[in-house]
Amino acid sequence: MHDSAAIVFLLLFTLVTVLGFLAARWRRGDLDRLHEWGLGGRRFGTWVTWFLLGGDLYTAYTFIALPALVFGKGAIGLFAMPYIIMAYPVVFALLPRLWYVAHRHNYVTGADFVRGRYDSPLLGLLVAITGILAVMPYIALQLLGIEVVIAGMGFPTSGWLGDLPLIGAFVILAAYTYTSGLRAPAMIAVVKDLLIYVTVAVAVVVIPIELGGYGRIFAAVSVSKLMLASPHPGDLGSYSAFATLAFGSALALFLYPHVLTGALAAKDPKVVARNMALLGAYSLALGLIALLGFMAIAAGVSRMPQYAKYFKLYSNNFAVPALFLHSFPGWFVGVAFAAIAIGALVPAAIMSIAAANLWTRSVYREYLRPACSDAEEARQAKLVSLIVKFGALIFAIGLPTTFAINLQLLGGIWIIQTLPAMVVGLYSRWFHRWALALGWLIGMVMGTWMEARLGFKGAVFPLHLFGTVVPTYIALVSVAGNFVASAVLTVVFRGLGLDGGVDQTAPADYRAVA
C-alpha cells in the first residue's frame, strides 16, 4: 500500500466530491427542469465552457488509453495528434450552427434536431439509441482508468474487496450527478484541468531528466515501435490504419452526445466558436502525454517485478501508473493519480447526463409519456443517468481491455452512423428520412459485424481490395456503406413519391456566427 499517495488521492477525491454536491447551488436554477439539470440552464460563458469541454474531451482516454497504445503498439498510437488537429476545424464549422437552431427550437439533444429537421420521430429515436450505445464503452473506459490507478496505490484487485473502491467511486459519481446535473462536472472540471496541467508539466520535465533525456528515451524504443509498419506488395501496412483512425475519429468527435451537451450548455454561439479555436491548445498536452508510453518503455516498467501482477491484470493500461510510481515520491503520485481519476469522473458524468437527455426526450417523452410534466421529465433523466453508469460497468467488466482505447474506438464505430443525418442535415435536407433510417441500419450492422469478427479486440479491419490488404478503421468503412445506401435509397424513395415530412426549422435558424 502506498500510504502517502493514497492519502493525497483521497483528500483530492473528497474535495471534488464536495464540489460536486455544492454545484447544485451554483448559478441557481430549477433542477426539476431538463434544460437546467441537463444543460446547466444554457448559461455557461467562455471560461466555464473551456473547462467543461476540456474535461469532456480529454479524459482517461488521454492519460491511460493513449499512452498504453503507444507503449504496446508504438507509433500507431500517435494517430490521436492528426485526429484532434483535423477535428477542431470541422467542429468549429458545425457546432455554432447547431447551437443556433437548438436555441431557437429548445432542442436539448442532437436527436431533437434530427427529429425536427426530418419530421421523423423514428429517426430521432435511432440517433438517440446510437448515442446511448456509443457512450457506454466510453464511460467504461473512464471507469477502467479509475480502477487502474486505485489498484496502483495498493488497494485489493481481486474478489469483492477489489471491486469495492470502483463501486464506491461509481456511487459517488452517480450521487452528485443525480443531485447537481451538468453543474457538477462543470465545476469539478476546473480542479481536474489544473491537476492535469501540473502533472503533465512535471512529468515531461522530470521523467526525461531521470531517464537521461529524450534522446535516450527514443534510443531505448525499438525501431518497430518508433515507425509505422511500411507498405509492401500486397499490404499497405500501418499507413492506412493510421490515416483512417485519425480521419474517422475526427469525423466522429462532433457526434458524441457529451460533446453536443457541452456545446449546447454555452450561453451563445460565439462562446462555442471561441472554444473550438482555443481548445486546440490541449493538443500540445495530448502529444506530450502520448510520449509517456515511450518513457514507460525506456524505464522498463513492464520488467519490474513489483508491477508484474498489475500488468497481468490490466495489460498495457498500467504503463502510465507504473511509470509514475517508479519516477515520483508518493505524495506526487497521489496528485497524478487524482488527476487521472478526476479526469475520468468529469467526462463520465457528462456522458451519463447526455445519454439521459437522449432517453428522456426521444424515448420517454416521445413514445411512453407524451404528456409528462417538466418535473417528471427531469426526474426520468436523473434516474436514467444512474442506469447508464450501470450499463457502462457491464462494458468495463465484459469486454477485453488489453488496450482501453478500443472501448473509445468501438463507440466511434457506432456514433459515426449518425453523421449523414446530423452533419448533412445542418446544411441540407436532401436525404429522405426513410433512406437515412435504412442507411443507419446498414452502417450499424456492417460496423458491428466487422467488430465482432475481430472479437471486439480491435477496430482496424483488414480489407482486401484488388489483391491488396488495406487495414482500415471500421468506422470509415461502415459509414461509407451508410452514405451510399442513404443516397441510393433517397433517389428511389423520391422517385416513388414517398412523403419526406415537413421541416420544422427555417433557413434563418442556421445563421452564421457574426
Q: What is the pLDDT of residues 82-97, one digit of tens each?
A: 998 888 888 888 999 9
pLDDT at 400: 57
Residue 52 falls within a domain, yes or no?
A: yes
Residue 422 falls within a domain, yes or no?
A: no
pLDDT digits (tens, 9 = 90+) for 449-496: 999 999 888 899 999 888 899 999 999 999 999 999 999 999 999 999
pLDDT at 512: 54
Residue 480 falls within a domain, yes or no?
A: no
Question: Is 170 a residue whose pLDDT tops 70?
Answer: yes
Report yes or no on whether pTM surpasses 0.85: yes
Expressed as residue numbers, the domain containing 107 is 3-23+38-117+143-404
DSSP 53-81: HHHHHSSHIIIIIHHHHHHHHGGGGGGHH
Name the residue with higher pLDDT: 324 or 407: 324
pLDDT grade for 205, boundaries at 50, 70 and 90? very high
Name the residue with higher pLDDT: 202 or 59: 202
Residue 454 falls within a domain, yes or no?
A: no
Residue 315 falls within a domain, yes or no?
A: yes
Please give the C-alpha separations between residue 441 and each of 130, 243, 448, 476, 485, in angstroms, as whole numbers.
11, 26, 11, 15, 10
C-alpha cell at 242: 493510421
Name the residue with higher pLDDT: 435 or 62: 435
pLDDT at 490: 97
- For the chain, the average pLDDT equals 89
Check: CB of residue 317 under 8 Å from CB of residue 64: yes
User: Which helix (H) or strand (E) is 391 found in, with range?
Assistant: helix 374-398
Domain count, the chain: 1
DSSP 318-360: GHHHHHHHHHS-HHHHHHHHHHHHHHHHHHHHHHHHHHHHHHI
Nearest to 248 by CA among 484, 416, 425, 420: 416
Residue 440 falls within a domain, yes or no?
A: no
Polymer length in residues for the chain:
514
pLDDT at 513: 46
Residue 463 falls within a domain, yes or no?
A: no
Task: Report the CATH number at residue 205.
Answer: 1.20.1730.10
pLDDT at 405: 76
pLDDT digits (tens, 9 = 90+) for 256-303: 999 999 999 999 888 988 888 888 777 788 888 999 999 999 999 999
Residue 504 falls within a domain, yes or no?
A: no
